[in-house]
Amino acid sequence: MEPISKLFSAANTTVSLIEAVYDGILIADRDVIVRYVNTGYLQIAGLSREDIIGRSLPQVRPGSVLPQVIKTGVAQIGIYRQEGDAEYVVDMAPIRLEGAVIGGLSVVKSIARIKHLSRELEKYAQKNHELKATVDSLYQARYTFQDAIGISGAFRKTVALAKRMAGYDEDILITGESGTGKELFAQAIHNASSRAAKPFVAVNCSTLNVTLAESELFGYSSGSFTGALKGGKAGLFAMADGGTIMLDEIADLPYDMQAKLLRVLQERKVRRVGESTEEAVDIRVIAATNRDLLAMVKEGKYREDLYYRLSAMTLELPSLKNRKEDLAPLADNFLAEWGKKNKRTVTFLPLAYEMMLFYDWPGNVRELKNVVQFSAYTCDGDTVAEIHLPKSAYAQAFSLRPTWENGWGLGHSGSLKKILEDTERAVIRQMFAKYGQSLEAKKKIAAELEISLATLYNKTRTLE
């Protein structure tokens, strides 16, 4: 009995395995007699077993290349064949036993099935492309350094440092009081970096459920816990792959999660909940906080190793009370934005600018924007006077200027000369706040006040 025939002399495991293969399988012996075909082959070729088993392959399949493979012992890949309406591609290889060729094997793939699989693959590729586009559109950074408005020296230094940081692919810790613009700077850094075209994913750590924080950040596999989605879910770190993930309110990250975050920062790998293997992520981490992390470390509320890992590159944002030169340009910008949205043109009166200067703005830029919007909505005409500022700003301005009584200069004690000098200084201050203190700004101020530049310089000395 031929060696090939012995393989198929009984219903064995080999036959069962081959029958399970969807592609067509044909096996011929060294005399090129067909000894076996599986169901897949018969379906592709449109034959019955009686048509081909035990017969010479060249007789039943004229033009077959398998005889040549058996003769030469050299495999051939991707041979196109057509029999009637059936088109297929054949891979062929010799079968060897103890170094001698004892037959040949053909693996037949229907071109119709290949085309079907190709179309399905294209559909999945298109869906994947659409999904990626959706993810990228959902996770886009919209702010750039052009949105960082300010003329003060402290703010310009902060912007310059942030721009330099953007050029390095290192993790960053942004600190500053609430409302100073930490997310704006994080987005601007992302958009100025080599990762600008990739996702920017912002996560507020204070909103993460303690029990689900790990699955939200790192993802989970199917069935890893009650309520888990079928097929699992990618974590936010995976969504940010190639781009930047911002961990806002990093001080509020649960203590148990801090060690896991540290490992991700060090290894750049995440492990989904319910899985034993890790997947690499290409990310930049920008963390932000308005709290003193070092003080929390000393109190045992924050991991020291994570703090030092995060704080290697730190950007500290100045509070608005420490850069009051920026009040006027910021307020004007917010008012212009409001006007564009509401199709109105509104401006501030000088007294409104001065009241802003005498308020400490504990809510910083965010509070200023709210004040500007409130003022615009409540003003009667096209100007915002002091009475249109919210009570919070109005009350503090009054407390800081106790001689101010419901009007410009009314209620001042002292001589008329002193009242005029105080009013003059207040006007010059608000002009500097609005236009800045460059030479061009001073020329503009002098022209608006209808005084010479020299007179402005003389009066400026009284402010010092």
The per-residue pLDDT for range 311-336, each reduced to its tens digit, is: 999 999 999 999 999 999 999 999 99
Sign of CA dihedral 403, 408, 414, 417: positive
Q: Helices 350-357 and 391-400: crossing angle, nearest 10°? A: 70
Which CATH number describes the domain made up of 3-113? 3.30.450.20
Report the distance separating Cα 255 and Cα 452, nearest Å. Answer: 63
Domain 322-463 -> CATH class:
mainly alpha
Residue 397 has pLDDT above 80, yes or no: no
Cα–Cα dist 147/188, whole Å: 8
Q: How confident is the model at residue 404 (pLDDT cuts 50, 70, 90)?
A: very low
The token pair that represents 153 in the structure block: 């020296």
Q: The domain at 145-318 falls in which architecture?
A: 3-Layer(aba) Sandwich (3.40)
CB neighbour class for 73 (10 Å; exposed up to 12, middle 13-18, buried from 19): middle
Which amino acid makes up residue 108? V
Pairing of strands 86-97, 76-83: antiparallel
| Confidence tier at 461 by pLDDT (50, 70, 90) | confident
Domain residues of the chain, as ranges? Answer: 3-113, 145-318, 322-463
For residue 359, is pLDDT > 90? no
Percentage of residues of the chain with pLDDT beyond 70 = 86
Q: Is the pLDDT of residue 408 over 50?
A: no
**What's this model's pTM, rounded to 2 decimal places?**
0.63
Q: Report yes or no: 287 and 173 within 8 Å, Cβ to Cβ.
A: yes
For residue 143, what pLDDT is reported? 96
Instruction: Report, as an integer, the average pLDDT of 140-163.
Output: 95
The pLDDT assigned to 112 comes to: 82
Token couple for 354: 């001065």
Predicted local confidence at residue 77, as pLDDT: 92
